[in-house]
Amino acid sequence: MHADPKRWRVGLVGYGEVGRIVAEDLRAQGVAVAACDVKLDDERGHPLRTHAAAHGVELVASHAALAAGSDLVISAVTASQSVVVARACAPALRAGTFVLDVNSASPGAKIEAARLVDEAGGRYVEAAVMTSVPPYRIRVPTLLGGAHAAALAPALAALGFAGCRVGSERLGVASATKMCRSVMIKGLEAMVVESFTAARHCGVEDAVVASLRETFPGIDWERQAAYFFQRVIEHGRRRAEEMREVAQTVREAGLEPWSAAGSAERQAWVADLADRGAFGARGTPGFARSPDWRVEADRILADVQARHPPREGASPPHAPEPEGRTAMNRPTTGPFEKTPGWLDWYEAPSKPRFQVPPGAVDAHCHVFGPGAVFPYAPERKYTPCDAGKEALFALRDHLGFARNVIVQATCHGADNRALVDACLAAGGRARGVATVRRDVSDDELQRLHAAGVRGVRFNFVRRLVDFTPKDELMDIAARIAPLGWHVVVYFEAADLPELWDFFTALPTTVVVDHMGRPDVGKPVDGPEFERFVRFMEDYPNVWSKVSCPERLSLTGPRALHGEQHAYRDVVPFARRLVETFPDRVLWGTDWPHPNLKDHMPDDGLLVDFIPHIARTAELQRKLLVDNPMRLYWPEER
């Protein structure tokens, strides 16, 4: 490494707004700059390549190639990718290479990124950018932190980063300062967009602005609101990721991040509107540049009105449905009414970023009705919206799966007609898990088998079904065992000790739904989950589905608004089972997600959960292809 920092080669991971500003200012001094960005591989990369060519920036194809040739690596990506970048760069770093992490990540994420870099022989420095970059460019006020911050600070000053100062040698201090500030700053942006847009809808915006001006006379609220709207519209996606890291910081302090999490949802919601073109085309001169916030508020209201028109007879003001739940207008046909407050399945799920391997199986999903054709059972505990086979197969194709395993829903009781109809319509691309009674005939079992049924489900969740005597269930298991079927069991984690002897006496393969519903607020190596792991260790006929994080998560973040790290608190539990029992795990969407109460996940983002729990291509193939094929289509192996 040269003694003169201006003779260094600086590598930029991320060539977005911040990366390009850094590149311009360094290249103006003659500093050698290289960059890599995931967007370079698709149509989004054209303006980046044009910019790089204009400023003499070398573009490289991988993190490793960038790291191997750099004296200073600057990580300027989205908040959730801080650790990902560190992991990708670390193996290729030369001894002593500085890694400056300017991402708005939580202290915990920064500490983990530092561990990865320092163990590889690099020198990690955290950086907390304390205000907007464009007005200051590389002179932006920045707090540095970590054991190597003091060593890097003079070099940064020589390169023109005049706003940098060392905050603490202890990692996480600079990040915590930025995160706690963002609760206020990014939170205020979200609040202004929400408050002013609602006020505009109600026709009281002038009164609201006047009241704020009186309470906070030092703020030009008209100008500030215009700026806030501009920033959220243009950078809402990135800000939402930062606010999820802020929420994680608040959690690390032992607080529930109600404000930070809500701000993340609002920022991401506006980003969704921008992606749909509600504010015009990105990249055009007028995009997110209106000097009057009312113009943008009216665009928001127009989009809301178009997507959620007022119901007949409704009187204004009318608010849109909450984020994460579709308008509750999907029908339940026949002589049925949906359970009050029922959340319908997610409208227009995103296309997953994670591409499932060829032949992948969605091994846990349902069909509901339609009620006019396949009536719901009189003994049901809930009445859903219709969710028929056509919608299920469309979702299968959209997400990239090849097959489904359809599990009989409790709202249909032991009437398996909807399930059988879907399996037959799939033309061999679906298998079924049925519900049967003790008095089921041999002919009926043969008919179910011919349709594609390969298992029965025993449900022990008391809020969903009435109690069935265990001797009756054992008789059913004995009847289906000669067919090569298995038993799927659904229960709460606290009930495993009571059910242990019954489960271990079953004469079939036993598949546990949703990891036995662990309490993810407890340690992954705590006694409750250790009991479940021992259950699988001691009985090799026991499998587990590592599905339904949306049901198990306590702290999120939710699979909504592009979130790529959803349900983080569930990941360690599912990952442990996948890595400990790679040949006995299954995954499914659980579409259409019956009985969720607080949000309805985007199924595309649920698919993006998979690589967090199955971290290699081999584990992903076992989870999604090999294991379900062995259990449900053994004749094709």
Question: Annotated active-site positions, please?
Answer: 590
Q: CB burial class (10 A; 0-12, 13-18, 19+) of residue 6?
A: middle
CA atoms of 111 and 477, how far apart (whole Å)? 51
DSSP state, 498?
H
CA atoms of 468 and 498, how far apart (whole Å)? 15
Q: Which of 181, 166, 33 is nearest to 104 (CA)?
A: 181
CA atoms of 92 and 63, how far apart (whole Å)? 8
Residue type, 243: M
Q: CB burial class (10 A; 0-12, 13-18, 19+) of residue 93?
A: buried
Beta bridge partners of 279: none
DSSP state, 568?
T
Residue 130 in contact with residue 272, Cβ under 8 Å?
Answer: no
Copy the structure tokens of residue 462: 């008391």
Residue type, 391: A
Residue 546 in contact with residue 554, Cβ under 8 Å?
Answer: no
Residue 123 in contact with residue 86, Cβ under 8 Å?
Answer: no
Q: What is the DSSP string of 146-188?
A: STTHHHHHHHHHHTT-TTEEEEESSTTHHHHHHHHHHHHHHHH
DSSP-based three-state secondary structure for 7? helix
Q: What is the DSSP string of 45-94?
A: GHHHHHHHHHHTPEE-S-HHHHHHT-SEEEE-S-GGGHHHHHHHHGGGPP
Write out the H or E segment, with its range, that includes residue 332.
Answer: none
DSSP-based three-state secondary structure for 481? helix
CA atoms of 37 and 19, how far apart (whole Å)? 10
Cα angle, residue 202 at apex, residues 199 and 204 outer, rounded to 5°: 55
**Cα 569 to the center of its chain, rounded Å:** 12
Q: What is the DSSP string of 532-570?
A: HHHHHHH-TTEEEE---HHHH-SS---S-TT-SS--TTT
Residue 544 in contact with residue 585, Cβ under 8 Å?
Answer: yes
Instruction: Please identify which residue in the block is written with the tokens 């009674």.
Output: 437
Q: Which of 85, 78, 89, 72 is nearest to 33 (CA)?
A: 72
Provide the pairing of β-strand 72-75 with 142-145: unpaired
CA atoms of 39 and 35, how far apart (whole Å)? 12
Beta bridge partners of 510: 487, 542
Instruction: Please identify which residue in the block is written with the tokens 């009164």.
Output: 207
Instruction: Report CA dihedral (492, 497, 499, 505) to the nearest 10 degrees.
Output: 140
Q: Which of 486, 490, 489, 608 is nearest to 550 (CA)?
A: 608
Distances (CA, A) of 184 to 61, 177, 181, 260, 413: 38, 12, 6, 9, 50
